[in-house]
Structure 1
Amino acid sequence: MAYPGHPGAGGGYYPGGYGGAPGGPSFPGQTQDPLYGYFAAVAGQDGQIDADELQRCLTQSGIAGGYKPFNLETCRLMVSMLDRDMSGTMGFNEFKELWAVLNGWRQHFISFDSDRSGTVDPQELQKALTTMGFRLSPQAVNSIAKRYSTNGKITFDDYIACCVKLRALTDSFRRRDTAQQGVVNFPYDDDMAAGGLVLPWGQWRRFAPQQPQQWC
């Protein structure tokens, strides 16, 4: 049985600079990085950012196509994937990794936002998921759309959360479907873990649409 792949996407998005970068230690070459101003503008003296600071950073960057607050729960999810030392924060190098992944998601999102509204509707969402290899029933797509939409529209940050969580569930399922029959039995604890959808960063990064790759 084939399992979902991920789309390829090109291009990149770099925000306008903040100029000087207050707060947080700097390292050689970092201050020349166009992303460093955004990171350092919200980072503490320890050079780390938490979910609230990441929310401010992404909101100010305009990566979602506007300047409304980026979804805080999505930011918590992303920080947790990068939080290798369980500190609840991430450093600049992790932020750069995250930015590269977000660029891939942004390009993919834009390609299905046919009316350039800054959102996708359930039909556009289904097309996007199909290109990633997800073969979901209309009922499943409808349930997902209801969970992540507001008035039938799904924003960029909710789109990220939706796709990441789908990937987490798919990876959990695939590990257990050793016969590749499309059917598995989940122990209760594993089912709860899958429902929690805490996905290690390395797995999420593989799934992000940066380069074409076939999952099977």
Structure 2
Amino acid sequence: MAQDPLWGYFSAVAGADQQIDAKELQQCLTASGISGTYQPFNLETCRIMISMLDRDYSGKMGFNEFKELWGALNQWKTTFMTYDRDRSGTVEPNELHQAITSWGYNLSPNCLALLVKRYGQDGRIPFDEFVSCAVRLRLATDQFKRRDTSQTGSAQFLYDDFMQVVMYI
């Protein structure tokens, strides 16, 4: 059976425990070239990518989680390239809105404005921040859905539970 081509990127930075932390993930993703001509991922983006898949809260990811992340990254990159119509390496607020809508999110104009303010640089969102936004949307939505047991779009949080969710994402 052929070895998974992603194994080479992963194993080059994974230690004996076959886990990678945020710094190692940053090295691995930079070496892989998945960012293409875009800026490499910053350390904070790598941290939240790990937290998205860190089911045991170890702050690290194994190879299976890495493969899952790779699939998500490729989808986000495809979406980014679709909406970066002028090939500037950034998306504008309306392009971000279209991208988020394409993923099935229905956010208010106020929420979208907050995302642009949080992830934008002079009103434009670079790839690294686009991925960061995508990860946080996924994490927040997953956490909300776990608590919206009746699937009504409403959930109750205790303050401590809310703070844990906010600090986690």
Class of the TM-score when normalised by the shorter of the 2 chains: 0.7 to 0.9
Q: CA RMSD in A?
A: 2.4
Q: 174, 178, 185: which is aligned to 2:150?
A: 178
Larger Rg: 1
- Residue matched to 1:110: 81
Structure 1 residues 171 and 36: CA distance shift in structure 2, 3 A: closer
Write the letter of the residue equivalent to 1:155.
P
- Residue matched to 1:139: 110
Deviation of 1:55 after TM superposition, in Å, equals: 0.4
Write the letter of the residue equivalent to 2:120.
S
Q: Work out the CA distance in 1 between the residues paired with 2:106 and 2:22.
A: 32
Q: 6, 12, 16: which is aligned to 1:41?
A: 12
- Residue matched to 2:64: 93
Q: Work out the CA distance in 2 between the residues paired with 1:186 and 1:93.
A: 31
Please say if 1:165 is aligned against 2:136.
yes
The structure with higher relative contact order (CA 8 Å, sep 6+) is 1
Identity of aligned residues (%): 57
Length-normalised TM-score, structure 2: 0.83
Write the letter of the residue equivalent to 2:13.
V
Structure 1 residues 131 and 81: CA distance shift in structure 2, 3 A: closer
Q: Work out the CA distance in 2 between the residues paired with 1:44 and 1:82.
A: 19
Aligned residues: 168
Deviation of 1:172 after TM superposition, in Å, equals: 3.5
Structure 2: any 5+ residue segments left out of the alignment?
none
Could you give the per-residue CA deviations for residues 114-154 of structure 1, whole angstroms, max 9, x where no partner exists? 11122211110011112222222222211111101112221
Structure 1: any 5+ residue segments left out of the alignment?
1-27, 199-216
Q: Work out the CA distance in 2 between the residues paired with 1:45 and 1:171.
A: 32
- Residue matched to 1:77: 48
Structure 1 residues 172 and 81: CA distance shift in structure 2, 3 A: closer
Q: Work out the CA distance in 2 between the residues paired with 1:158 and 1:101.
A: 15
Please say if 1:65 is aligned against 2:30.
no
Contact 1:56 1:69 in 2 (8 A): no
Length-normalised TM-score, structure 1: 0.67
